Amino acid sequence: MVGICGYGAYIPRNRIKVEEISKVWGTDAESYKKGLMLEEKSVPSPDQDTITMAVEASRKAVKRAGIDPALIGAVYVGSESHPYAVKPSGTVLAEALGATPECHTSDFEFACKAGTEAMYVASQLVKAGSVKYALGVGADTSQGAPGDALEFSAAAGAAAFLFSTEKDKIVAELIDTYAYMTDTPDFWRREHMHYPRHGGRFTGEQAYFKHVVSAGKGMMAKAGMKPSDFAYAVFHQPNGKFPLRAGKMLGFEERQILTGWLVNKLGNTYSGASPLGLTAVLDEAKADDKILVVSFGSGAGSDGFVFRATDKLKAAQGLAEKTRQMLDEKKRFLEYGTYLKYRKMIIMNE
């Protein structure tokens, strides 16, 4: 048996509303709110980055697992906003947890899919018996170019998962995994460029829907399961509309999706998006509930996971702050000027 023995989330307290961004660029806030189902998004403070959020989410995962962090044998962080171009995020994270020095670490990159890649590799290493505990984290502080549609959604957050094979510690058993990937240039950022570029509408049918739906179907076929077997389904959520539509295409009802659907109030946390959705589901799930997770990363590909909540989950849920608490409480709303300052988009003197 392999599965999650601890999980944790982190969402910054700052938010900016769609109206506040629209006001500056003369766009119609209502069309974004209706069309993309976005209301507000999280914004990192100037002293937060992928590493600081990964540390906070991972500390919650360690707390819920109740393990000695020195026994974590692998630490993987997936992000498209690693703070250094050269120097791993994972070393800082492992050091902050107390997992060093007997620990393997690597940073993953695959647009919004990097977080589930880290989870995928961490879970398989534990399954293979190479390490006792392995940590997979998805974290991002993504930026959209000012005035671009992505500016309404690019947000910040992190989710962390500790994997183990110890039956008495597992809160969600990993039943099966699946990966679906092609070379699709729907979204990219070249070296030294500040903002990503994307293929506009090409990012929809040929990229997001093709990969998410194919991975969802492939995952269910491999596990021998159908939509009605699942209590919850979590899909990558670049905006509010896409995951609901992908779920519908796969045969899921909205009630299965909404628990892990955070995007209307959170924005797109990129590598953190479907992993954060999974943390919100784990906060609520009951023993034996089955959970489908399908991520998506431009470039492009999707990872599929099937989890089954165990009777150990209930006791772990209350051991750290829940995801919806971080999403709904202690929010600080920013004006556009402060948002630009926080995101370091104002040109300063050296």
Among 20, 39, 40, 49, the residue binding other proteins under the rule CB under 8 A is: 49
For position 96 contacting other proteins by CB under 8 A, the verdict is yes
Among 11, 92, 111, 172, the residue binding other proteins under the rule CB under 8 A is: 92
In whole angstroms, the minimum distance from the beta carbon of 6 to other proteins comes to 17
For position 222 contacting other proteins by CB under 8 A, the verdict is no
Among 27, 37, 45, 70, the residue binding other proteins under the rule CB under 8 A is: 45
Q: Which of 213, 255, 229, 256 is nearest to 175 (CA)?
A: 229
CA dihedral 279, 281, 287, 293 (to 10 degrees): -90
Among 25, 84, 188, 202, the residue binding other proteins under the rule CB under 8 A is: 84
What x-and-dash track marks residues 113-132 binding other proteins by CB under 8 A?
--------------------
SS (H, E, C) the chain: CCEEEEEEEECCCEEEEHHHHHHHHCCCHHHHHHHCCCCEEEECCCCCCHHHHHHHHHHHHHHHHCCCHHHEEEEEEECCCCCCCCCCHHHHHHHHHCCCCCCEEEEECECECHHHHHHHHHHHHHHCCCCCEEEEEEEEECCCCCCCHHHHCECEEEEEEEEECCCCCCCEEEEEEEEEEEEECCEECCCCCCCCEECHHHHHHHHHHHHHHHHHHHHHHHHCCCHHHCCEEEECCCCCHHHHHHHHHHCCCHHHHHHHCCHHHHCECHHHHHHHHHHHHHCCCCCCCEEEEECCECEEEEEEEEEEECCCHHHHHCCCCCHHHHHHCCCEECCHHHHHHHCCCCCCCC
Nearer to other proteins, 57 or 273 (CB): 57
For position 56 contacting other proteins by CB under 8 A, the verdict is yes
Nearer to other proteins, 55 or 74 (CB): 55
Q: 14 to 43, contacts with other proteins by CB under 8 A?
A: 14
Q: 177 to 216, contacts with other proteins by CB under 8 A?
A: none
Nearer to other proteins, 26 or 101 (CB): 101
For position 83 contacting other proteins by CB under 8 A, the verdict is yes
In whole angstroms, the minimum distance from the beta carbon of 96 to other proteins comes to 4
Q: Give the active site residues.
A: 80, 112, 236
Residue 65 amino acid letter: A
For position 348 contacting other proteins by CB under 8 A, the verdict is yes
In whole angstroms, the minimum distance from the beta carbon of 134 to other proteins comes to 20
In whole angstroms, the minimum distance from the beta carbon of 133 to other proteins comes to 18
Count of residues binding other proteins (CB under 8 A)? 24
For position 66 contacting other proteins by CB under 8 A, the verdict is no
The residues that touch other proteins, with contacts defined as CB under 8 A, are 12-14, 45-49, 51-52, 55-56, 59, 83-84, 92, 95-96, 98, 330, 332, 341, 348, 350
